[in-house]
Structure 1
Amino acid sequence: MIDLAARLSGPPVSGGSPPWPGYEYAKGWGVFGLPFDSGHVLALRVFPESSFGPYRTVWHGTPDGRWSIHVDGPRPDTACPRYYGLACEHTGRAEIHLAWTGPASLRVTMDAPALEWTLTARSTPVLTALNAVSAALPLASWRPRALVRCREELARALGLGRLQMSGTMPSGHQGTLMPGRMYYVDEARAVLDGTDLGRPARLDHNPRIGDVPLPARGILAIGEAAWRIKEEGAVSAPP
């Protein structure tokens, strides 16, 4: 039995630093992506540590490909919309609350739009072995493109489709997503503004936000992400 509640219930972290000079970063966990059989997609980001302070976000994609990102944090432009906002129809503030209802079961609620989302993560012997290896590898192993490609192929073998762990965000930032541990999310229910989104699905093709692919099946990941700082239009951390 995995105990994600004990691992992930800690308070926001102060301090910290990006993995490499010239980068900004976020570190924490979330639901990398969760497609439903209705065609809707949800994602969750919980970053207690980042270059700009702690924040949470809920992402929602409609069956026709329209995206919204809702931010519980100091500023939307120093959270996920900083990198993905140009691919969204809406970005804005919301109150996002998390409650662990079991060792691997989570309840996510949001005020506007109203969201009630419950999910349970699970591991497998293969994921357990891969997570142990991944946790032992240094962050430097995310720099060579060949090693990133190997991880992308592993993700494909796990049923996540054709992911790109490193590439260009809708904002133009060059970024690398670095999941250290991953768990399947096959059990979930979500009601968004009164609409039941259906059951978790495993898709033949990856849902996309802009040109960035999200997983073809539900996955919860623990890790971090780093983006090369863009000099033009750089935003500093709020005071």
Structure 2
Amino acid sequence: MQPTMVGESRKPEMPAHGIGEELGALRPHIGPSPLAGYEHMKGFGVFALPFDSGHVLAMRVFPDNDFAPYVTVWHRTPEGHWRIYYDAARADIACPRYYGAAAERVAPANIVLRWTGPMELHVTMDAPRLDWTIDVGAPLRSRVLGAMGTKLPRMMWRSRLVQRLITRVGDAAFGVGDVTLSGRAPNGQRAFLMPERMFPIVESTALLEGRSLGRPTHADESPRIGDMKLPASPVLAIGEAYFSIDDPEEHRRTVEALQS
């Protein structure tokens, strides 16, 4: 299965500004991590999107990583059960590699992304059926956070002081709450996340198997997957993530298998 990374970007209808054209133009790049001892991924996603029904959606779009491009959609039920759906060559080269231990279900799906405007994304998935629209805002504070994030060296992102600073700026700007930027992923790897730019999601609708998930909301508590806390407010993030290579031989075999 090959993920549809960019969908059908309708460039003639888009103004020059906005992130739709930028993110819709991303192309796959497969190569070793720039940080020794870690697997890497670079792209964007819906960091988390809580709904007033208690459901939570998230999405990861990573065309640039160690293995192969992939898209995943995460769904948490009001009861707290996570499902991860992956559009990738294999489950073990996408988000389930790091988060699968905390998911009730992991399954393949066909996920299609289509930028319908400079700040408007439409996501569809076949099984389960999902029709999801996302409208992203672009306030000045996104530029301020972006100016900070893009100038920080990778090694500085591992500093707890820097992580606390980024979290505080993100909370003040978007109400993201107590977000985990470093820690243990559910599958055991050491992880640190680098959200270089964040944008508030100002509106969203989602039909899952034909049923509305409600309206976006600020959650009373940050959604958790394992020990990792996601934003309490709807946010789209652009950036990178790193996960420790705990089994170098398995990592080597996986890279070679995908290249063959």
TM-score range, shorter-chain basis? over 0.9
Superposed displacement of residue 126, structure 1: 1.8
The equivalent of 2:88 in structure 1 is 73
Give the direction of change, closer, same or farther, for the CA distance of 1:75–1:15 in structure 2 (3 Å limit). Answer: closer
Q: Match of 1:154, as an amino acid?
A: V
Secondary structure (helix, strand or coil) at the match of 2:250 reads coil
Which of these residues, 224, 229, 233, is aligned with residue 245 of structure 2?
Answer: 229
Q: Match of 2:216, as an amino acid?
A: P
Give the direction of change, closer, same or farther, for the CA distance of 1:163–1:7 in structure 2 (3 Å limit). Answer: same
Is 1:148 the counterpart of 2:163? The answer is yes
User: Which deviates further from its counterpart, 130-139 or 77-86?
Assistant: 130-139
Q: CA RMSD in A?
A: 1.5
Is 1:120 the counterpart of 2:135? The answer is yes
Report the TM-score when normalising by structure 2: 0.88
Which of these residues, 78, 85, 103, is aligned with residue 88 of structure 1?
Answer: 103
Q: Match of 1:70, as an amino acid?
A: Y
The equivalent of 2:199 in structure 1 is 183
Maintained 8 Å contact 2:82/2:225: yes
Superposed displacement of residue 52, structure 1: 1.0
Maintained 8 Å contact 2:145/2:169: no
Superposed displacement of residue 11, structure 1: 4.5
Superposed displacement of residue 102, structure 1: 0.5
The equivalent of 1:157 in structure 2 is 172
- Give the whole-Å Cα distance in 2 for the aligned partners of 1:229 and 1:185: 33
For residues 17-56 of structure 1, the C-alpha deviation after alignment (integer angstroms, 9 at most, x for no partner) is 3231011011100101000000000001110111111000
Secondary structure (helix, strand or coil) at the match of 2:80 reads coil
Give the direction of change, closer, same or farther, for the CA distance of 1:193–1:38 in structure 2 (3 Å limit). Answer: same
The equivalent of 1:51 in structure 2 is 66
Q: Match of 2:229, as an amino acid?
A: P
* Equivalent residue pairs, number: 239
Is 1:216 the counterpart of 2:222? The answer is no
The equivalent of 2:12 in structure 1 is none
> Which runs of 5 or more residues in structure 1 are unaligned?
none
User: Which deviates further from its counterpart, 150-159 or 121-130?
Assistant: 150-159
Superposed displacement of residue 166, structure 1: 0.4
Q: Match of 1:53, as an amino acid?
A: A
- Give the whole-Å Cα distance in 2 for the aligned partners of 1:185 and 1:122: 6
For residues 131-177 of structure 1, the C-alpha deviation after alignment (integer angstroms, 9 at most, x for no partner) is 12222222222122221222122233230010110000000100001
Q: Per residue, is there more helix in 1 or in 2?
A: 2
Give the direction of change, closer, same or farther, for the CA distance of 1:144–1:217 in structure 2 (3 Å limit). Answer: same
The equivalent of 1:102 in structure 2 is 117
Maintained 8 Å contact 1:19/1:139: no
Secondary structure (helix, strand or coil) at the match of 2:48 reads strand
- Give the whole-Å Cα distance in 2 for the aligned partners of 1:182 and 1:11: 17
- Give the whole-Å Cα distance in 2 for the aligned partners of 1:66 and 1:232: 31
Which of these residues, 42, 49, 54, is aligned with residue 27 of structure 1?
Answer: 42
- Give the whole-Å Cα distance in 1 for the aligned partners of 2:194 and 2:172: 17
Q: Match of 1:61, as an amino acid?
A: R
Maintained 8 Å contact 2:71/2:111: yes
Q: Match of 2:167, as an amino acid?
A: E
> Which runs of 5 or more residues in structure 2 are unaligned?
1-14
